[in-house]
Each structure stands twice: as C-alpha cells, then as structure tokens.
A and B are shown apart, each in its own frame.
Chain A
Amino acid sequence: MTLTRDQVTHVAMLARLGLSDEEVERYRQQLDAILSHVDRLQQVDTSKVAETAQVGGLVNAWREDVRGECLPVDKALANAPKRRRDHFEVGAIQE
C-alpha cells in the first residue's frame, strides 16, 4: 500500500499544515516508508486483547464543583498575537 499525494494533501489540510509541492512529495516518501514499517502491527493477533484505556489504571478522577481563580484579562491576552481591546482577533473565517 503506497501513500498517495492526495492522501498527504488531505491529511495536511486536516492538520492545517501548509506544505509546498516539494514538501508534499518529500513527506509522502518519508511517511510511506514509516507506514510500511508500522504496518507490521497488523500481523499481531489482538483478537483476545482489550485496548489500553489508561496505563495507570485510574478511574473517576474528578474534582468537586468549586470555583477557583481566573486570570486577569491582561494576563489572559498577554501572549495574543492580534488583540482587539479585550478580545483575540482573527481574520476572515469564511473566504
């Protein structure tokens, strides 16, 4: 099973990674090689095994419904690349 160019561009878009044509081809080859190796996993018989849910075996890790401290607005927005007053600003959501 070879990874196709379309599959790479599809996955790149799902992950919002902008790639040049050259990059698409380069990654295609590399990912294809990795997947060929990783495909070995199919040979392992897991018919009688359950998926690992939590390697620590913990369950019901919840907290009580208590209010804690919030960040002051300026701290919340301190790292904002584009700030409009007290909001984060983004570009056109629909082209």
Chain B
Amino acid sequence: MAHAGAALARGGYGDAVMTATSAVSTLDQVMERYEAVIGLEVHGQLLTQSKMFCGCSADYIGSPPNSNTCPVCLGLPGVLPVMNRVAVEYTVRSALALNCEIPEHSKFDRKNYFYPDLPKGYQISQWDMPLSLNGHLTFTVDGEEVRCGITRVHLEEDTGTLQHAGDILQQARSSVVDLNRAGVPLMEIVGEPDLRSPAQAREYLVRLRQILVYIGVNDGNLEQGSFRCDANISLRKRGETGLGVKVEVKNMNSFRAVHRALEFEIVRQGRLLDQGQTIAQETRGWVEAKGATISQRSKEYAHDYRYFPEPDLPPLHLSAEFVDRVRAALPELPQQLAERLQREHGLSAYDAATLTAEREDARAFEALVAAGVPAKVAANWLMGEVARLARETRTPLHGSGLGLEGLASLVKLVEAGTINGSTAKELLEELYLTGGDPAAVVKERGLGQVSDQAELERLVGAVMAENPAAVADFRGGKEQALQRLVGGVMKATRGRADAKVVTGLLRERLAP
C-alpha cells in the first residue's frame, strides 16, 4: 500500500482528480487499485570450457559463423550427446546458493519443436525431474524485505542464433542460421510469482545476477545474452487473491528495460481492466525504441512439446556426498560476505554493501586490510578514487596496470606518511593503466612528503612573510585565509608538504 500512500501524500488524488485527468491512468494510479503479480524466468549460460553435450567451446562470442561446431551440436544424423559434468556441478552449485533442494534422482528430457536454430528438432532440457526445486532469494527493496520463491533451477542446452534479413523477424523473407551457440550449457531459473513491483523485479535480478557471478558460474552479461530474463505479469484488484491473466514479456536486454517494460505493462493492463476489457494471454516483446511492449502473437501453431525422457542420456543419481561436496565448495555469497565484513572490520552496512557488489572489490578490500591498511581507509580508497578511475577508464582494478598490489603499495605509502593524500591521488591516476612501482616512482622523482619540522617551519615563516594580507585576514577572524597560507606552503613544496603538520604550524605561528 506504499504506492497508494505516496499518491495521496502527493496532493490528495481522489475522485476529483480522476475525472479531471481523463481516463488515462498513471502508474501510481494503477498501482493504487491493482496489485501486480510478477514472476521472472532467467536463463544463464554457464562458464564451462565446453558445450553441454560436446567438446566445442562454450566461449563462442566473436567466433566466425559456424566455426564453433561439430557433428554433435550440428545435429547431424547418427550423433549422440554426452553430458558435461561441470555443467551439472555448476547448476547444483547455483541451486544451493539459492537455497534449493537437490532431489537424488534427476533426468533430461526432449522438448520437441521445429525452429531453424534448433538443429535436432528437439532441445535436450529437463521437464518433470529437474536438478533442483523449492528455493528462495531474499533481498530488501525500499527498506522492505522480500522473499521470492524459486520454483526450480534446471539445466538444458542453448539454441543457435538467427539473423533476419532486414533485422525484423516479422518481415524477413529469409534468415540465416549460426550454430556456434547451439549446445552451450544453459541454466534456467524459474522464480515464483512473488514479486509485486518493477522495483522488486529489478532488485531480484540484480541479486540473482550478483550471486551467479560470485559463485563463478555466469559472467552476468545481459548485453551479450549470457544472462537473459523473461517476465510473466498479471494484475489483480488489490485485496483479491485469485490470479489475473498472465502476459509473458520478452526481449528485455537490461535491468532498466525490465523495469520500464514492467511499468509499461502495469499501465497497459490497468487501463484495459479499468475499461472492463479482458487481458489477452499472450507473449509480448519489449521494444526499447518505442518504450512499449508489442504483441508477438503470430500464426504460430500451438506448441505441444511432447516431452519424453532423453533415451540417449542415462538419468542422474546425485548422492548426498556429491551435493555436500558441491555445497562445501560454494564460495561465500554476497550477503554473507557483507555481513562478515561488517562484523570483522566494523564497516557500515552501506560500505559493506558497496564493497561486496562486485566480488573483486571485496577481494581487493580484504587484501588491502591483510596488507596492513586500516579498514576504513581501504574502504574509502576503493569506493572513492579507485571506483572513479575504474569507471572512467572502463578498467576494473584487477584488470588495471597498477593492480591490487600496486594500490596496496600506494596506500601504505600514505599510511606511513611517506607521501600525502593528494600526491597519492595523482600517482594513482598516473599509474592506474600503465602500472609501475609506486615506491620506486616516489623515490625517483623525490615525491616524498616533506615532514621535516625545521624545513616546514622555514617555509611557513617564508609564506607568512610573503602574504601579510592573508595573515592579517586570518588574525582578523577570516578562517579561510588559513587555507591560502597552507596553499602557499603546498605550492612551495610542489604539493608534498604534510598538510596537517603545516596547518598546525601556521595556527601556532598565527596565534596571538
């Protein structure tokens, strides 16, 4: 009911406003009257070396068309699939990270339909005995805890890719098929329809993606299609418990697209329901350029997948030992990691969350702390300067020339008082991409911080003598004048003076 509250708070939407703004409702208005019921289906390609059922590479991006194929993934007559053990392990790992049960018995099934990107005319997938069931993902949105059920996580093979003449499927007179991707291991994660808003849907995806990246099974790349999402959404009047007509939404290639598409659907369906119309149960595609979903209903004959057990693949019996081994090898999950960093290093919840958003950042943080850098200092560097540089250069720390080691070395130079903060920032910027040994560079160029008391006193005296107006201003009560004097000393030392010491010395000398 938060949305209804917000609408009221905004200035009292009431019947008067409804009639005044005509029949076209806004998202907030729709959400006042209707509850959105959203379930998400995610497909994630697994980071295995080879495809699901043959030895072709699972890393096909950039390969010339049809150069990453073999008789098996081409679906030639006479070939047979052979299961990739690591793909099974990664799926079980993911399922455990999502709190699922792993039944002892599982199998593959054939899902039969005709399409040019499906070489065998069937996809090897899982139907009634999937690798896992009954999990959940818990997260927080707008301060509210959301527990989204996970119906199942199963394993299947990806299809090839199609390119349509003119790029629009509906109008293309011909299309071409590339089977490089056919057979890549694909994990399907089906979420329960427990999500109630586009914001919740988005956060679910962010969390899910984060977990999969953390545990090393997926690279989280929505643009390249290694992490894909489809949504099912229906509306019902607030207070009702039955389910409305479900619409499937596809072709959302970013989290933002998911959010926008779901908002669009809520408004579209809400308006139709307000007009007393029924929602068509259909598949709709998100069209980014139009900011709308478009019906994909075609002359497609109804799919009857005629699932039956895959006779070429013996079933799976996953023992408790196997599951325990996979569970034991599970890396620390983002939530656990964030909690631990708060506990062990006294980080705030916000800092912990920021640092654990990407696993590499958390790793960097722990490495810096292990190297002797105080927790808060390490956190500030990583969340501040390093994050900025990583964004600007599009290069993460672990891929940069300086690297974690270089950063640690730099930060320790600051902590030791060898250089000051601004020198460090400059060096970081300079060495980030090219790399280099900060200690050596400091020595070479004489960038060491000037902290010799006598030297600083001499400089302070000189600057005070050269800036009588500033001295007078400060003594006259203008605090800012101090900064001009500090600035003068910094300039004289080409920024290498220890600013704290200089400030202290100036205050002493300026004191009446």
Indicate if B157 sits at the interface (CB-CB under 8 A).
Answer: no
Whole-angstrom distance between the Cβ of A32 and the nearest chain B Cβ = 20
Is A93 a contact of B64 with CB atoms below 8 Å? no
- Find the B residue at minimum CB distance from A56: B314
Interface residues of B in 153-186 (CB under 8 A from A): 162-164, 169-170, 172-179
Tell me if A59 and B55 are in contact (CB < 8 A).
Answer: no
| CB-contacts of B43-95 with A (<8 A) | 48-50, 54-57, 64-71, 74, 82-88
Contact residues of A between 33 and 90, Cβ < 8 Å to B: 51, 53-54, 56, 58-73, 76-77, 84-90
Q: Contact between A76 and B84 (Cβ–Cβ < 8 Å)?
A: no
Q: List, in ascending order, chain A residues with CB within 8 A of B67's CB.
A: 70, 72-73, 76, 86
Least CB distance, B319 to chain A, in whole angstroms = 9
Binds A, one of B301-309, B333-341, B480-488: B301-309
Pick from B88, B116, B170, B304: contact of A14, CB below 8 A. Answer: B304
List residues of chain B with CB within 8 A of the CB of A14. 301, 304, 306
Q: Which chain B residues border A84 with CB–CB below 8 Å?
A: 176
Bound-complex Cα distance A58 to B68 (A): 30
Given contacts A62-B84, A84-B176, 6 further A-B contacts (CB under 8 A): A14-B301, A14-B304, A58-B314, A59-B315, A67-B50, A68-B70
Contact, CB under 8 Å: B314 / A86: no
Residue of A nearest to B309 (CB): A53
Instruction: Judge whether B298 and A89 touch: CB under 8 Å.
Output: no
Pick the 4 closest A-B CB pairs, nearest first: A68-B55, A87-B176, A65-B86, A58-B314
Partner of B74, one of A58, A76, A91: A76
A52 to B426, CA, bound (A): 71
Residue of A nearest to B84 (CB): A65
Query: Chain B contacts of A67 at CB under 8 A?
Result: 49-50, 55-57
Assess whether A95 is interfacial by the CB under 8 Å rule.
yes
User: In the complex, which residues of chain B have a beta carbon less than 8 angstroms from the beta carbon of A94?
Assistant: 169-170, 172, 298-299
Q: Hey, which chain A residues are within 8 Å of B55, CB to CB?
A: 66-69
On whether the beta carbons of B175 and A90 are closer than 8 Å, the reply is: yes
The dominant DSSP class at the A interface is loop
Docked-complex contact B49 and A65, CB < 8 angstroms: yes
Residue total for A at the interface (Cβ-Cβ under 8 A): 37
Q: Is the CB of B84 within 8 A of A63?
A: yes
Complex contacts, B107 vs chain A, CB 8 Å = 53
Name the distance in Å between A54's Cβ and chain B's nearest Cβ.
5
Is there an interface contact between A93 and B313, defined as CB atoms closer than 8 Å?
Answer: no
Between A and B, 5 residue pairs with Cβ closer than 8 Å are A16-B114, A56-B314, A62-B88, A65-B86, A93-B164
Q: Is B316 in contact with chain A by the CB < 8 A criterion?
A: yes
Chain B nearest Cβ from A67, distance in angstroms: 5
Does B3 sit within 8 A of A, measured CB to CB?
Answer: no
CA distance A59 to B174 in the complex (A): 43
- A68–B51 Cα gap in the complex (Å)? 10
B491 within 8 A of A: no
Q: Contact check: which of A66, A73, A91, A95 meets B299 at CB < 8 Å?
A: A95
With A53-B309, A59-B315, A91-B173 in contact, do A66 and B49 touch (Cβ < 8 Å)? yes
Q: Are B85 and A90 in contact (CB under 8 A)?
A: no
Q: B residues within 8 Å of A by Cβ?
A: 48-50, 54-57, 64-71, 74, 82-88, 107, 114, 116, 162-164, 169-170, 172-179, 298-299, 301, 304, 306, 309, 311, 313-317
Give the distance in Å from the alpha carbon of A73 to the alpha carbon of B74 in the complex.
11
Q: Which residue on A lies nearest to B298, using beta carbons?
A: A94
Contact A68 B56, beta carbon cutoff 8 Å: yes
- Chain B contacts of A70 at CB under 8 A? 56-57, 67-70
Q: B87's closest neighbor in chain A, by CB?
A: A65
What chain A residues lie within 8 Å of B86 (beta carbons)? 64-65
Contact assessment for A73 and B314 in the assembled complex, using a CB-CB cutoff below 8 Å: no
Q: Of B66, B82, B175, which contacts A61 at CB under 8 A?
A: B82
Q: Is A13 an interface residue (CB 8 A)?
A: yes
Q: By the criterion CB–CB under 8 Å, are B71 and A71 in contact?
A: yes
Determine the chain A residues whose CB is within 8 A of the CB of B299 once the complex forms.
Answer: 94-95
B50 touches A65 (CB 8 A): yes
> What residues of A have a CB within 8 angstroms of the CB of B315 in the complex?
53-54, 59
- Does any Cβ of B come within 8 Å of A92's Cβ? yes
Give complex CA distance A64, B84 in Å.
6
Closest chain A residue, CB of each to CB of B73: A70
Nearest CB on B from A14, distance (A): 6
Q: Which residues of A contact B306 (CB under 8 A)?
A: 14
Q: Is the CB of A90 within 8 A of B177?
A: yes
